[in-house]
Amino acid sequence: MNKPLRKVSVFCLILVAALMLRSNWVQVVKADDYADHPQNRRAVYEEYSHPRGDFLVDNKPITGSEKTDSKKFEYQRTYTNGPMYAPVTGFKSQFFGSNLLENIEDDILNGDDDRLFVRRVIDVITGKDRRGGNVELTINAAAQEAAFKGLNGKTGAAVAIDPATGKVLTMVSTPSYDPSLLAVNDNAAQSEAWKTLNEDPAKPMDNRAIRYTYAPGSTFKLITAAAALSSGKYKPDEATKFDSPIRYPNSNQSLTDHPGVANCKGATLERALEISCNTVFAGVATDLGDEAIKAQAEKFGFNDFGKYDFTKGGADTKNNLDIPARVNASLYPENEDDAQVMRAAIGQQSVRATPLHMAMVVAAIANNGKVMQPSLVNALRSQSLDTIESFQEKQISEAVSPEVAKQLQDMMVGVVTEGSCPSAKIDGVKVGGKTGTAQRGVNNSSPPYAWFVSFAEVDGKKVAVAVVVEDQGADVERDDISGCAAAAPTAVGIMKAVLGK
C-alpha cells in the first residue's frame, strides 16, 4: 500500500472509531438523559401509548385511562371525584407534566419500574397490551368525602391520621380543582385551564394540608401543656399561680383572656385547656423558659421534619418529612424575650404549623406519646394487583411519656365534655379536642384562622384529626368565628366516618 493511500485508510479508521465512540456515548452513557429530557416528545408519546396504572381507594380505582382517537396520545388520564382527591393524586398532563403522587409514583404507574420487568416480558410474550402498575392509597373514602363536604365553600384543609400506624386517612384542601382539566387531549384547552387555575386568587392547585403553614393558635397549648407536665413541675389538677390578665415583662401592656372565658386566674392546667386560658399557658412558658417549650415542640417534629426550600429545588437536611409527597416545615423559632415566649406558647408570634403536622401532634398524644411516620401509600401493586411493596410502620420519635400522653388525653376529653366545644361529642365514642383561633393581619385586621384538632376512640379503634378554616366570609362577625363553630363540624364528620358512626 502506498503512503497516500495508507494515510487515507488511517484517517478513515479514525473517523469510524470516532463515530463508534460517539454512537456508544449517545446510546449508552447519555441514553437516560436524552430519554428523560423534557423536550423529548417521543418519550411522552410512548408513555401515553398504553394505559396508565390507577390509584386505589378502598380497593377501588379513582383514576382511569381512556382510549382516544389521537395517534400521538393514545390514552388519556381520567379522574373520579377529581377535586376531592386532587390534593392526594395531583395531576398528570401531556403538556404540563405532573405533581404530587402522580409524579412521585410515576415509574410504577407508567410501568417502567424495574420491579414490573417480569410482568412486561410476560405481556410481550402473551401479546397483552402493556399497562402500568397501581398505587393503593391509605385514604378512607367515606372520611375523605366527609372532609370534602365539610369544607365545601370554605378555604382550608383537613387531615386525619391513624395514630397507631401513621396512615393518612384523609387529606383535603379547599378550594380544589379537577385534574381532568389538565388531562384532556387538547393543548389549547389545557393551556386555558392552566392559565385560569394559576391566575385564580383562591389558589385551588395549592395543597394547604401539607404546603401551607399557619399560626396554630390555641391548638399549640397542647404542646405547652406537654412541656409543663413533662417537667414534673405541674400536675393537671393543681392550681397555678398566674394572674388574668398577665402583664408582659417590662411593658405596660397585658395579655388577656377572651372576654367569654371566666376564672382563668390560678386555674388548673386541665381547666385552662378546657376553656383555653391564654394567661395560664403564657405563665407556664415564662416559668419553664423558651428552650423548654422549643425542645418539646421539636420532640413533636417542629424545626426538623419537613425542612425543604422549594426555591432552591432541593433538600439540605436528612430529616425531611415525605408522605411520600414533600411536607413543608412546621416552625418554632427562638424568642428573644419573655413577651415573645408568652405569645409563642399560645400559638402566635412566629409559630407556624401545617394541618398535617397538627394532626401528627394529636396522633402522638392518642398513641401514648409515639410519633409515627405518616404515609399516603399503603402498597404498590403490579398490573395484576400482586403486592410488590407494602407500607411499613415506622416510629419517628417519642414526644412525651405514656403517662403524660394519658394526662393530655384526659385533658382533651375535658375540652369536649366540660369546656369550649361540647358540640364535638359523639354518642358512644371517647372524643378529645382542642379549639384554636389564630390572629392574623396587621393589628388583627384579617379574619382569624379557625382550628379544631381532635382524636376519637371506640372499641380500640382511633383516629386523629386536624381542621383549619382560613376565612368564614364577610357575613360572619369576628366574635362568632371560633374553632368549635367553624372547624369542629368537619372534624366530627371525619371521625364519624372513620369509626363507622
From residue 345, alpha-carbon distances to 108, 239, 292, 355, 381 in Å are 44, 19, 11, 18, 45
Whole-angstrom Cα distance, residue 222 to residue 345?
A: 10
Grid-cell match 391509605, residue found: 138
Residue 414's SS3 state is: helix
Give the count of alpha carbons within 13 A of 275, CB side only.
16
Query: Which position among 65, 93, 218, 330 bears the catalytic label?
Result: 218
Whether the bond between 236 and the residue before it is cis, its omega within 30 degrees of 0, is no
CA separation for the pair 188, 419 (Å, rounded)? 55
Pairing of strands 134-137, 55-57: parallel
218 is catalytic: yes
In one-letter notation, the amino acid at residue 113 is D
Cell of 193: 385551564
Beta strand residue intervals within 31-74, DSSP E: 55-57, 60-61, 63-67
Alpha carbons 331 and 353: distance in angstroms, whole number? 6
At how many degrees (to 10) do helices 402-417 and 355-366 cross? 110
Q: How many CB atoms lie within 10 A of CB 473?
A: 10
Residue 111 contacts residue 30 (beta carbons within 8 Å): no
Beta-carbon-side half-sphere exposure of residue 391 (alpha carbons within 13 Å): 21
Cell numbers at 296, concatenated: 418539646
Asked whether the beta carbons of 160 and 166 are under 8 A apart, the reply is no
Report the alpha-carbon distance of residue 78 to residue 435 in Å, rounded: 39
Q: Which residues are catalytic?
A: 218
